């Protein structure tokens, strides 16, 4: 096993919302708000029907947001297609959602279109992170959102005891491996599609992911761990760039620089000052995201950037949070991601720097964040 943190058997339902796996953290905070339990007896008295109802409500809200996205995308000229692709070699179904730009619907775009493959966080689905799929497609890219069976929204099914087991299973080594294989399979499948494949530039493929999905993206980009004296790698040479949203470290794997040393492609790292994972036995925050950034090699092109949004929480990159601050961060992240992709895949130099200057009022620096953390730690001791 890749040393997933084992949950205590008596986890209060109020904190069920995050899980670790493949030696990595994958936060679920605010993906689904489990009911707070004022007492242990009351927590256990809440039967499975209530938990099922809340999970169903969440699924309905996600479906509603997805429907709104499809409608809005249609107005913008973006075509949205869903499919369930069958990986016969693994006997596994891989649900996907494809966002096709206007250029792909008018026949033979020239030049061909870049492809961006998005991996959801734990407990998510192909319907999530629609803001990115639509934005990329509106700007001339094919976006492919992959759903990972075993760590998708199905983890919310069942009562409280089933939920804990589902979360533990989702964090298993097998699921972590399967997620990366899902993305590689999806790339192969869409390139072979007789309608969509010819529209895609096979030399301009990027991966993106949030939380657990960011770890999946890092594996495809070259991150690897040692097992029995050998490096276990799932890297895909077709991937030329990676967008890493709230990327947790490979927990329990020792030297992170060694884990990440083979990542040689351009990377964009995005987090927020309040990007926190808080579960029993594990703590991770924006300082860890800075560590991932600093431990990852810089691509030969020199394209490697980190953006830290002031006040940005772990869930801010999902479709759910809609406060004014969250909306501003989402818009800035979309613009920054698009500029990064244009630079990494289309050699549009200066695009990232231009956007970073525009969104600078929303950002803080790693040094400022670390200084604040140091002050917070030493202040009580000096008072």
Q: Which structural domains are found in the chain, ordered by start?
A: 13-382 (3.40.50.1820)
Q: What is the pLDDT of residues 298-316, one digit of tens each?
A: 999 999 999 999 999 999 9
Residue 186: burial class (beta carbons within 10 Å; 0-12, 13-18, 19+): buried
Residue 378 pLDDT: 57
d(CA 54, CA 64): 15
For residue 66, which of 134, 143, 118, 152 has the smallest C-alpha distance?
Answer: 134
Residue 231 pLDDT: 92
Judge whether residue 105 has pLDDT over 60. yes
Least confident of 38-47, 224-233, 236-245, 361-370: 38-47
pLDDT over 90, % of the chain: 61
Question: pLDDT band at 54, cuts 50/70/90?
Answer: low
Q: What is the pLDDT of residues 65-80, one digit of tens each?
A: 767 777 777 767 899 9
d(CA 170, CA 168): 5
Residue 173 pLDDT: 82
Q: At what angle do helices 366-382 and 286-295 cross, to 10 degrees?
A: 130
Higher pLDDT, 176 or 107: 176
For residue 97, which of 68, 70, 57, 65 has the smallest C-alpha distance?
Answer: 70
pTM: 0.83
Judge whether residue 19 has pLDDT over 90. no
Residue 295 pLDDT: 97
53-69 average pLDDT score: 68
Residue 24 pLDDT: 36
Judge whether residue 233 has pLDDT over 70. yes
27-42 average pLDDT score: 35
For residue 180, which of 271, 264, 240, 94 has the smallest C-alpha distance?
Answer: 94
How much is the mean pLDDT over the chain? 83
Q: b or e along 246-267 (b: 16 or more beta carbons within 10 Å of the residue's beta carbon)?
A: bbbbbbbbeebeebbbebebbb
Residue 110: burial class (beta carbons within 10 Å; 0-12, 13-18, 19+): exposed
The structure tokens listed for 51 are 């938990």
229-249 average pLDDT score: 96
Judge whether residue 144 has pLDDT over 80. yes
Judge whether residue 375 has pLDDT over 80. no
Residue 185 pLDDT: 98
Strands 113-119 and 142-146 turn out to be parallel
Residue 50 pLDDT: 55
Residue 49 pLDDT: 55
Judge whether residue 269 has pLDDT over 80. yes
Question: pLDDT band at 322, cuts 50/70/90?
Answer: confident
Higher pLDDT, 157 or 205: 205
Judge whether residue 47 has pLDDT over 50. no
């Amino acid at each position: 096993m890749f040393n997933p943190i084992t949950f205590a058997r008596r986890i209060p339902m109020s904190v069920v919302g995050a899980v670790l796996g493949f030696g990595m953290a994958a936060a679920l905070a605010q993906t689904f708000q489990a009911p707070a339990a004022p007492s242990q007896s009351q927590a256990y008295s809440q039967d499975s029907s209530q938990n099922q109802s809340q999970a169903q409500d969440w699924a309905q809200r996600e479906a509603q947001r997805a429907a709104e996205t499809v409608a809005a995308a249609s107005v913008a000229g973006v075509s949205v297609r869903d499919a369930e692709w069958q990986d016969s070699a693994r006997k596994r179904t891989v649900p996907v959602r494809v966002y096709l730009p206007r250029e792909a619907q008018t026949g033979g775009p020239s030049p061909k279109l870049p492809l961006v493959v998005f991996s959801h966080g734990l407990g998510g689905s192909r319907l999530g992170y629609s803001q990115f799929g639509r934005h990329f497609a509106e700007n001339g890219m094919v976006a492919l959102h992959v759903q990972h069976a075993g760590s998708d929204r199905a983890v919310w099914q069942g009562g409280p005891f089933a939920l804990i087991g589902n979360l533990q299973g989702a964090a298993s080594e097998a699921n972590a491996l399967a997620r990366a294989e899902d993305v590689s399979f999806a790339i192969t499948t869409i390139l072979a599609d007789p309608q969509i494949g010819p529209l895609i530039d096979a030399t301009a493929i990027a991966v993106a992911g949030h939380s657990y999905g960011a770890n999946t993206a890092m594996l495809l980009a070259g991150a690897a761990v040692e097992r029995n004296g050998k490096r276990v790698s799932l890297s895909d040479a077709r991937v030329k760039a990676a967008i890493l949203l709230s990327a947790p470290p490979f927990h329990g794997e020792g030297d992170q620089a060694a884990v990440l040393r083979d990542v040689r492609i351009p990377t964009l790292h995005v987090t927020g000052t309040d990007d926190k994972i808080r579960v029993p036995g594990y703590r991770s925050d924006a300082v860890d995201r800075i560590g991932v950034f600093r431990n990852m090699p810089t691509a030969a092109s020199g394209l490697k950037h980190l953006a830290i949004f002031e006040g940005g929480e772990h869930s801010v990159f999902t479709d759910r949070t809609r406060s004014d601050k969250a909306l501003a961060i989402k818009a800035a992240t979309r613009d920054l991601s698009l500029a990064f992709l244009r630079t990494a895949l289309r050699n549009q130099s200066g695009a990232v720097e231009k956007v970073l200057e525009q969104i600078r009022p929303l950002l803080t620096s790693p040094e400022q964040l670390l200084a604040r953390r140091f002050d917070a730690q030493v202040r009580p001791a000096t008072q």
